[in-house]
Amino acid sequence: MDTALNTNQVPTIVIDARMAQAMNHGIAKYVSLMAQGLALCQKKKNLGYQPVFLVNSNSSKNFFSFDTVQVHSRFLSPSEIFEIPSVLKRVGAAAYHSPSFSSLWSCPVPYLITIHDLIHLRYGSFTDRLYYRFLLKPFAKKAKQIVTVSDFSKKELSTWLEVPEEKIKVVWNALEDKVESGTARSDFFKNRNLQPGRYFICLGNQKPHKNLELLFSAYQDYRQECVKKNIDPWPLVVTLPEESLRIKTQGILPSGKLPSSQIAELLKKAGGLLSPSLQEGFGLPPTEAAAEGVSLAVSDIPPHREALIDLSPSEALWVPPTEKSRWTQAFEILHQKGITPPSSESQRKIRERFSIKRIGEDMDQLYGSVLGLKPS
């Protein structure tokens, strides 16, 4: 649907959802769950505006019950700088939301931008840094509303953009609905003879800030300690394609490309999750694990502390991110079940704090403010 989208004579806000179709990373989840949250809001009240989502494929005519507009430009392709403003004019948009660092030279309507973190400035390529400095920064400074996903990122953005913290609103990530335990194991379980509760898992990628090389080295040391003590080591499942592993180590099992439902099942049945990130904007994997009651060993960085504030001191093992020996100990402690898994009460608090309903309500409030609508 491209024209005559606004049949209800209410303002249209166009939201970029192109990354949600092609990827399964944190930003993609953020956008998908935000759309689900808005759909929940719509069931309860008249939103007062019409959300329309930008997509690359016209295989479906809606995105979580909302209208879509197909664009040709892929996420972060140079052509989006020219195509998106043209699309906004064509559909008569009243506002635009870029829920990632995708930026435009100019925008014909008031807009919001969600900047999740500044990781690319520290760990990204030279091209990444140029993009942030010459495109993202000026685009964000002119935004009607800047949004981010944690108080940690809010402070970083305020300093970098040289804007007051009051101009930046925090809308936390949401968590997907709780995974129900399946009776049948996936082929990944069967082919690798994984035993529920007797393997580690790490959800991440090979980007430098994920700190996986140090974790893999610590895992090697853990296996050596198991040999000395005549103990069977647990395997470490990592959500990576096999060809991407830079360190080939016995016991490290790359999951390859699995459906998100199978990744969620792998997480739920793990004996422990390790998250060694050097920096994050929010820290979704440990939060997802905590909400499922999985034992945790996480890097002691502010975003993890913020996201896991509902846990008691005994419900997570906090590890200095760069100390390999401490990560080796973390493997051993998880193996020995020396960390209390998050209680059902802690799980409830986390799910309530990061609910789909909450992200929908928060974004609804921001959209209404940008559009100048009176609260309903």
Least confident of 18-22, 77-81, 143-147: 18-22
Q: How are beta strands 62-63 and 66-70 bridged, if at all?
A: antiparallel
Distance CA 241, CA 258 (A): 10
Whether 22 has a pLDDT exceeding 80, the answer reads no
Pick 376 or 49 by higher pLDDT.
49
Whether 369 has a pLDDT exceeding 90, the answer reads yes
pLDDT band per the 50, 70, 90 thresholds, residue 6? low
Which residue in this structure is represented by tokens 């919001």? Answer: 112
pLDDT band per the 50, 70, 90 thresholds, residue 204? confident
Whole-Å CA distances, 36 to 40, 64, 96, 342, 357: 6, 6, 18, 26, 8
Q: How are beta strands 168-170 and 12-16 bridged, if at all?
A: unpaired
Q: Quick one: average pLDDT of 182-193? A: 65
335 within 8 A of 199, measured Cβ to Cβ: no
114 within 8 A of 100, measured Cβ to Cβ: yes
Whether 8 has a pLDDT exceeding 70, the answer reads no
Q: Express the helix, strand and coil content of the chain in percent, nearest 5 each.
A: 45, 15, 45
pLDDT score recorded for residue 3: 46
Which domains does the chain show, CATH number per domain? 12-174+355-370 (3.40.50.2000), 187-353 (3.40.50.2000)
Is the pTM higher than 0.85? The answer reads yes
Whether 23 has a pLDDT exceeding 80, the answer reads no
Q: Quick one: average pLDDT of 352-374? A: 96
Average model confidence (pLDDT) across the chain: 91
What 3-state class would DSSP assign to 307?
Answer: helix
Whole-Å CA distances, 204 to 60, 89, 253, 257: 30, 38, 13, 13
pLDDT band per the 50, 70, 90 thresholds, residue 205? confident
Cα 290–292–297 angle (5° rounding)? 35
pLDDT score recorded for residue 58: 63
Distance CA 210, CA 222 (A): 20
Whether 299 has a pLDDT exceeding 70, the answer reads yes
Distance CA 143, CA 370 (A): 10
pLDDT band per the 50, 70, 90 thresholds, residue 357? very high
pLDDT score recorded for residue 305: 97
pLDDT score recorded for residue 259: 78
Nearest to 294 by CA among 199, 215, 226, 182: 199
Measure CA 4 to chain center: 33
Strand partners, 51: 13
Least confident of 87-91, 134-138, 189-193, 312-316: 189-193
Whether 4 has a pLDDT exceeding 50, the answer reads no
Cα 283–77–36 angle (5° rounding)? 45
148 within 8 A of 280, measured Cβ to Cβ: no
pLDDT score recorded for residue 183: 45
Pick 188 or 34 by higher pLDDT.
34
Q: Quick one: average pLDDT of 341-367? A: 97
pLDDT band per the 50, 70, 90 thresholds, residue 184? very low
Q: Quick one: average pLDDT of 172-200? A: 77
Whether 290 has a pLDDT exceeding 80, the answer reads yes
DSSP conformation class of 132: I
Q: Quick one: average pLDDT of 348-375? A: 95
- pLDDT tens, position by position, 72-130: 999 999 999 999 999 999 999 999 999 999 999 999 999 999 999 999 999 999 999 99
Whether 48 has a pLDDT exceeding 90, the answer reads yes
Q: Quick one: average pLDDT of 319-326? A: 98
pLDDT score recorded for residue 131: 97
